[in-house]
Structure 1
Amino acid sequence: MYRTTVLKTSFLILNICGSLSVNAQQPKLPESAYNLILKAPVSTWDEALPLGNGLMGGLLWGEQNTIRLSLDRGDLWDERTHGEKEWWKKYTYQKGADMIAKGEFKTVGSWWDEAYHGVSPTKLPGGRIELKFPVKELVKDFELMEATAEGIARFNSGAVLNTFYSATDPVALLSIKGTVPDAVQLFSPMDVFRKNTKGDGGPSSGGSVSKLGYPEAIKGKSANAEWYIQEAADGLKYCVYIDTKKNGNETLIALTITSTTDSKDPLALARQRCTAALNKGYQAMRKPHVKWWKEFWEKSSVSVPDTAVQKQYNLVQYFYGAASRLKAPPMPLQGVWTADNGTLPPWKGDYHNDLNTQMTYIAYQQSGRYDEGASYLNFLWERRTFFQDFARDFYGTSGLACPGVMSYSGQPLGGWGQYSMSPSMSAWSAHLFYLHWLYTADDAFLKEKAYPWSSDVGECMLGLLKKDSNGLLKLPLSSSPEIFDDSPKAWLQPNSNYDLMSIKMLFLSLKEMAEEMGKPADAKKWAAAALALGDFHTKADGTLLLDAKYELTSSHRHLSNIIGIYPFNLITSEGNKKDQQMIEASTKSWDKLGTRSWVGYTFSWMSCLRARVGDGEAAVKNLDIFVKAFVLRNGFHVNGDQTKSGYSGFTYRPFTLEGNFLASQAVHEMLLQSWSATPGDVHTGVIRVFPAMPKKWADASFTNLRAEGGFMVSAVRKNNKTTSFSISAAKSGKLRIKDNFDGRAPKWNLKGITKAGDVYEVTLNKGQKLVASFN
């Protein structure tokens, strides 16, 4: 059964008020001009309007006189292991290391890769609803009303279908006015498979749903309702239920998905939920839903002078509200929008911890979507017992480790062993706990979750790391995600720069958290471990290598060897001369290698990285390419270049979400940064207002973005100059602000501001606000 422990933050939301222009700002609800509008026909599920409430998701699409709503629920999973059950207990990390040392690469590959070749474990689709209207009724367009999270389908006749997935109840409602559907049909995934004529989904798909071997769904009907109950695996049954009611000239449809994790009788529960929703009616159900979304949007907002980027930013923030909630499963590769074409989702719709989960949850901190981000942190926290068992059984250590590729329950799925079974993926996941603490300044979260979970990862790493002849800590095996694919060459010389950077960032963050908690012995231990990892591997000119031996010599999709620049701030533009050399040489090397083997997320990740080092022009260039070439018309990120313009050699279209969230974060990185140039030292973050602005973004603003240390920041920029900003404190402490104001001195509303070098400093009390303006 799925259980959740609500992760609470004590972040103080402060209203900004005052006389200066910046203080008149309030976060804006998304303007209707930026709504997602799709002209009909929409003939494929992955170009549909995305709707959801975290637990359930829906895709609205169709053509001619047919409207479809594809159905999904986040915890519908088939957890059956392919091959030997709990294979990781037999084919352990140390056995793999021993075999690789002997050159037995194929043997290890068969151990760790074979499990992924099965149909399951996999995320499951939920089928669809099809509404057939009179032949004369032709759908004209679809619109996503982002401010209220409603989908609309309009007909040429003037008839309208409105729908929303309730933000407060586990149901969805459809209201149809101006016409009446001739038929409302419910299709199970196997029904969809039989209707589909496009094969088994291509190379990234898990194959057709028929391969699951499930019995036919049990279908039922009553006067106004229709349902099916699908028996899945391991005792799971789920019920998809729709009920219809006529209210004058309105046809009202309620739908829900229940399962045996909710009730022993999912059909009775589904009937109860839909009946209650229909009795309340569309408008009564809509009222709390709209209130929830209003509060969601009022957390923060940004405004940039680029329509395509603004639309993508708004849409991606909407994704957090639609697909990630405290009491619901976090987003896997496709969130709550699993493939609806008779196939299983690309890459099993799983949780990839070598990039995808970390980058999907990289953009919530600055926008203040803490509850939405906590969905993933709670998920990791609740599975810590299994992860502790996995560390013991597979790695032979204490502490915990989350598999590099895992199912909803947390079990390892296998795959290319170089990353699917890599321990350093857990260090990268721990980084999200650290960031959550930095941005919320929530001491309870630090004590109760961030430090316990992350320090357990640290103990696992210490259990694996052994000193070499030079006294440096080394892993038994090392790799750099997806570099050299699954070839023997992919086993790099320990430690690869990726492993080195991931683990060093972990140890430094643990040092910082331990110091904040008053644990000097722990802080000393983690600091010593970070130092004992040694320096990064570079060429003489500073170019970051893959490991001590290999250089990246061809274009690649994963920025793993330069991860120390972003998202980790181990190598910074404000660092020493060596840092500057590494940044300059490594970015030049990546530019020279070209983008032939990049995918969509590479462009949005590179945009973040270039913004982090202050290169706004390169940041916006990469972001523009992403928005232009690597999203479908509904905004979904697809891995290949859809324009076939030569941006990438990949032109396929498997849909995953991490590229979208990286694009949203790239906007944040251009508008506001607050990282410390000395990670591991407590309270050394510096706020940088508009740190990487391209010239074409001459006018921009943001309201209530968050900064490390629990600060809330708003700012306005006009004619390529910052005109005003304000910063509010969630807790008492020192505030540091980078002077990047082109020689102009701010006019402050408070006294006591000092300057050390190019950084302004002031101590603020909890709830106090600093306001600056420029003449």
Structure 2
Amino acid sequence: MLCFVCHGQDKAIFHIPKLGNNIYEGVFTGNGLLGTMTYLKSSQSVRIDIGRTDIYDHREKSNKKLFDKARLSLGHFFINFDVNIDSAGGDIFLQQAFSLTNIKTSAGILQIKTTTLSEDNIILIEVIKNAYNGNYSFDLCPDCAISPRMKFDYTQKPVHYIRNPLGKSGNSKGVSFYNQELLAGGGYATVYKKVIGMDKDVYVVSVGYSQVNNSYLEETIDFVHHFDSQDINRGVKKHQDWWQNYYSASSLFLPDKLYQSFYDMQLYKLASATRADKPAMDLQGPWTSPTPWPAYWMNLNLQLAYSPVFTSNHLDIASSLIQMIDRNISNLRENVPAAYRYNSIAIGRSSANDLWSPVVLEKGVSIADASDGEKELGNLLWLLHSYYSYYRFSMREDVYDRLFPLLKEAVNYYLHLLEKNESGKYHVAVKTYSPEYKYGYAYDTNYDLAILRWGLKSLIELDHEKNKKDPLYDRWVDVLDNLIDFPQGVNGYLIAKDVPYDESHRHYSHLMMIYPFYEINWDQKENRVLIERSIKYWKSKNQYLQGYSFTGAASMYAMMGRGDAALTSLDNLLKSYIKKNTLYAESGPVIETPLAAMTSIQELCLQYWNGKLRIFPAVPTAWKDISFKKFLTDGAFLVSAKRENGITQTVEIESQHTGTIKVESGISTPMVVIKGRGKYEIDLDGIIVFTLNKGARALVYEKK
């Protein structure tokens, strides 16, 4: 059962009245690099997991990358008591970004406060003991430096897996440490010291890491040794300022306490999991647990995890993904077969943070021994949809200049694999794999056709925007105009040509022309029956549906303007799949589904597709009063809107970049006021077309 965020003056608290014995029932913090998770270890101890998001093994490239290049778990601190714990509850103070655990015992109450400082590589663990008369001990229990996948019986393990050397504990300069060297070079160290106080003890923790040399150990010891009380005070002040600035970027106010709580937690989770200058989110974020998924997943997870950052006006969060792509272009090129590397890039199903993950699809070459993940053609091009959004929501020239060649090379790989069929239509002339479907290895998967259509359209649009007339422009237009139709049957869209949807399928890979690409959309009245039939039939086979199946369905219903159906889908998600602290698991922690649900909630309030911005397009009937401020949308426009008693009252649009936007305001008799340079016109359908200079604001309200 989800807990609520209690809102008071200048604070929001996510309360878990009863902590459990796993990460899904704990309270957590993070700064995008380091993180903590506090929960119960036993009847007499509390466990505080620590994580660092960039600590990956980095052995040579091999087909066992989930073992040789796996994310590594650090371990945990545990606080032992000499009496039993009677009860334990926890709170996450969202706006101040710390967690507080309350431990009740026969010897009194002890509190554990954790803060992962925003501007420092420091975790503060405060043991507040002024109401506690017993004793406690504080110890580190490090994890072994092996791939977490080794701990799962059903995973196919390497025949010869050489373990990293055992780590070593030690003390230096009054500081305790655990040092773990790696076979591939470098290593990492957890370093901590205790600062004794009258009412509380403060443990100052840091984690050093290097893939190159061993200087990280001495550097981290010195850093912690010199981090004094003044540094702590300064660090906490900077920490509070950072989070206050973060929350000021946008806001959403919902009449439903459960969904307000859930949304606020995802906003907190995003900035805890990654930052502009921190590693991109993998499946775990800073909160590690035994998992068969110690990597980045590229055929849905990474795309969904970053999906809410754009509307919430947090391009700063998105930039961690963009930077990871930019840093690893050489590996993206190495991922394609040698014959295509001169002008193509791709990525397979999963990778470490170096994005090395081969795709082996090549005309005329047998790939019988390849894994399904090596046959997924569209992953990178879909990932670049996030890069495209990063550009369109910022309209930055430097982002355009980097995006265009990446998009071009990702499409090039497709172009190498196309041929014309007997009807003169282009199709993918090799079998590819449609993610997650048992029989998804086939010709002309809808997964690939939807992604390719989006890629071609985007290249043509971007080319028009700058009047580039790229040498491949005519080729893009020709392929787009003559690409085969999406395969469909009596029950809607198929998985691929000659592959019906016959078994339950958690991924909506065969429906991506509906969402997230809106190639087939609700404005197209001729396609409405097909859309409804496809979604209904997909959901009718519910045996293997998982959490993100319900976020995908909710977003599709939102596109149809069916807010009640979207809310029902999200209700099923929160009731059956989301954990007590809003984390999510499928055999191990996976971060994307709750964040995708955050996107679905945003889409009840604001959507942009088919060239049109839609204000409150799918608000559930029960949500009478709702508002949002400074949501970001295509063209770098900031949007605020307010709805009372089921009626839209005001819409405000601020231009951060000179441009034009079409707005479906939902206001029946709109009055418009523009401050700054701009103009508008209202077409016959009531759509307001704004052309606004940078800095101009437009206010729309109901004519009285």
Asked whether the equivalents of residues 50 and 76 of structure 2 are also in contact (C-alpha less than 8 Å), the reply is yes
Asked whether the equivalents of residues 354 and 420 of structure 1 are also in contact (C-alpha less than 8 Å), the reply is no
Paired position in structure 2 for 1:402? 347
- From 292, 295, 317, the counterpart of 1:346: 292
Paired position in structure 1 for 2:652? 726
Asked whether the equivalents of residues 301 and 703 of structure 1 are also in contact (C-alpha less than 8 Å), the reply is yes
- From 441, 444, 450, the counterpart of 1:495: 444
Paired position in structure 2 for 1:745? 669
Matched, 1:244 2:194: yes
* Distance in 1 between residues matched to 2:154 and 2:598, nearest whole Å: 25
Q: Which amino acid aligns with 1:519?
A: K
Q: Residue 131 of structure 1: SS of its match in structure 2?
A: strand
Paired position in structure 2 for 1:35? 13
Paired position in structure 1 for 2:101? 153
Q: Which amino acid aligns with 1:634?
A: N
Paired position in structure 1 for 2:275? 325
Paired position in structure 2 for 1:143? 91
Asked whether the equivalents of residues 563 and 618 of structure 2 are also in contact (C-alpha less than 8 Å), the reply is yes
Paired position in structure 1 for 2:545? 598
Asked whether the equivalents of residues 300 and 704 of structure 1 are also in contact (C-alpha less than 8 Å), the reply is yes
Paired position in structure 2 for 1:701? 627
- From 669, 680, 701, the counterpart of 1:773: 701
Matched, 1:53 2:26: no
Q: CA deviation at 1:470?
A: 2.9
Pick closer, same or farther for the CA change 1:529–1:732 going to 2, 3 Å. same
Q: CA deviation at 1:119?
A: 3.5
Paired position in structure 2 for 1:182? 136
- From 322, 325, 330, the counterpart of 1:380: 325
Q: CA deviation at 1:478?
A: 3.4
- From 254, 257, 266, the counterpart of 2:204: 254
- 1:531-542 mapped onto 2 (5 Å cutoff): 531-539=481-489
Pick closer, same or farther for the CA change 1:746–1:206 going to 2, 3 Å. farther
Matched, 1:763 2:691: yes
- From 213, 235, 239, the counterpart of 1:285: 235
- 1:463-612 mapped onto 2 (5 Å cutoff): 463-479=416-432, 481-485=434-438, 489-492=439-442, 494-521=443-470, 522-539=472-489, 543-577=492-526, 579-591=527-539, 593-612=540-559
Paired position in structure 2 for 1:120? 68
Pick closer, same or farther for the CA change 1:719–1:660 going to 2, 3 Å. same
Q: Residue 259 of structure 1: SS of its match in structure 2?
A: strand
* Distance in 2 between residues matched to 1:192 and 1:481, nearest whole Å: 31
Pick closer, same or farther for the CA change 1:385–1:546 going to 2, 3 Å. same
- From 666, 674, 677, the counterpart of 2:608: 674
- 1:354-369 mapped onto 2 (5 Å cutoff): 354-369=299-314
Paired position in structure 2 for 1:110? none
- From 60, 66, 72, the counterpart of 2:51: 72
Asked whether the equivalents of residues 95 and 244 of structure 2 are also in contact (C-alpha less than 8 Å), the reply is yes
Paired position in structure 1 for 2:593? 659
Q: CA deviation at 1:38?
A: 2.1
Q: Which amino acid aligns with 2:319?
A: A
Q: Which amino acid aligns with 1:379?
A: M
* Distance in 2 between residues matched to 1:514 and 1:397, nearest whole Å: 21
Q: Residue 270 of structure 2: SS of its match in structure 1?
A: helix
Deviations 1:88-126 (A, max 9, x none): xxxxxxxxxxxxxxxxxxxxxxxxxxx46x743311101
Asked whether the equivalents of residues 703 and 715 of structure 1 are also in contact (C-alpha less than 8 Å), the reply is yes
TM normalised by structure 1 equals 0.82
Q: Residue 728 of structure 1: SS of its match in structure 2?
A: strand
* Distance in 1 between residues matched to 2:8 and 2:699, nearest whole Å: 26
Q: CA deviation at 1:392?
A: 4.4
Percent of residue pairs bearing the same amino acid type: 21
* Distance in 1 between residues matched to 2:377 and 2:406, nearest whole Å: 15
Q: CA deviation at 1:519?
A: 0.9
Asked whether the equivalents of residues 19 and 25 of structure 2 are also in contact (C-alpha less than 8 Å), the reply is no
Q: Which amino acid aligns with 2:276?
A: L
Deviations 1:663-708 (A, max 9, x none): 0000111000122x2xxxxxxx211100011101111111111111
Asked whether the equivalents of residues 358 and 428 of structure 1 are also in contact (C-alpha less than 8 Å), the reply is yes
Paired position in structure 1 for 2:366? none
Q: Which amino acid aligns with 1:352?
A: W
Matched, 1:370 2:315: yes
* Distance in 1 between residues matched to 2:437 and 2:213, nearest whole Å: 47
Q: Which amino acid aligns with 1:601?
A: Y
Q: Give me the CA root mean square deviation.
A: 2.9
Asked whether the equivalents of residues 398 and 463 of structure 1 are also in contact (C-alpha less than 8 Å), the reply is no
Paired position in structure 2 for 1:97? none
Q: CA deviation at 1:572?
A: 1.0
Q: CA deviation at 1:221?
A: 2.4
Deviations 1:244-299 (A, max 9, x none): 11134331111111022486422221122223433425433210001001111111
Pick closer, same or farther for the CA change 1:505–1:413 going to 2, 3 Å. closer
* Distance in 1 between residues matched to 2:603 and 2:493, nearest whole Å: 23
Q: Which amino acid aligns with 1:77?
A: Y
User: How many residue pairs were aligned?
Assistant: 676
Q: Residue 363 of structure 1: SS of its match in structure 2?
A: helix
Q: CA deviation at 1:215?
A: 2.2
* Distance in 2 between residues matched to 1:512 and 1:504, nearest whole Å: 12
* Distance in 2 between residues matched to 1:310 and 1:454, nearest whole Å: 37
* Distance in 2 between residues matched to 1:604 and 1:138, nearest whole Å: 38
Matched, 1:431 2:385: yes
Q: Residue 362 of structure 1: SS of its match in structure 2?
A: helix
* Distance in 1 between residues matched to 2:117 and 2:476, nearest whole Å: 46
* Distance in 1 between residues matched to 2:276 and 2:650, nearest whole Å: 35
Larger mean CA deviation between 364-373 and 225-234 belongs to 225-234
Pick closer, same or farther for the CA change 1:205–1:491 going to 2, 3 Å. closer
Deviations 1:442-495 (A, max 9, x none): 222112x2112211212222222233333333324334534542xxx4321x21
Pick closer, same or farther for the CA change 1:222–1:192 going to 2, 3 Å. farther
Pick closer, same or farther for the CA change 1:56–1:757 going to 2, 3 Å. same
Pick closer, same or farther for the CA change 1:576–1:30 going to 2, 3 Å. farther
* Distance in 2 between residues matched to 1:44 and 1:207, nearest whole Å: 26
* Distance in 1 between residues matched to 2:246 and 2:486, nearest whole Å: 41
Asked whether the equivalents of residues 185 and 213 of structure 2 are also in contact (C-alpha less than 8 Å), the reply is no
Paired position in structure 2 for 1:681? none
Q: Which amino acid aligns with 1:575?
A: Q
Pick closer, same or farther for the CA change 1:716–1:204 going to 2, 3 Å. farther
Q: Which amino acid aligns with 1:568?
A: F
Q: Which amino acid aligns with 1:57?
A: G
Q: Residue 310 of structure 1: SS of its match in structure 2?
A: helix
Larger mean CA deviation between 695-704 and 33-42 belongs to 33-42
Q: Residue 493 of structure 2: SS of its match in structure 1?
A: coil
Unaligned 5+ residue runs, structure 2?
1-5, 360-368
* Distance in 1 between residues matched to 2:331 and 2:298, nearest whole Å: 16
Asked whether the equivalents of residues 45 and 61 of structure 1 are also in contact (C-alpha less than 8 Å), the reply is yes
* Distance in 2 between residues matched to 1:152 and 1:763, nearest whole Å: 49
Unaligned 5+ residue runs, structure 1?
1-27, 88-114, 640-652, 678-684
Q: CA deviation at 1:501?
A: 0.5
* Distance in 1 between residues matched to 2:613 and 2:657, nearest whole Å: 16
Q: Residue 606 of structure 1: SS of its match in structure 2?
A: helix
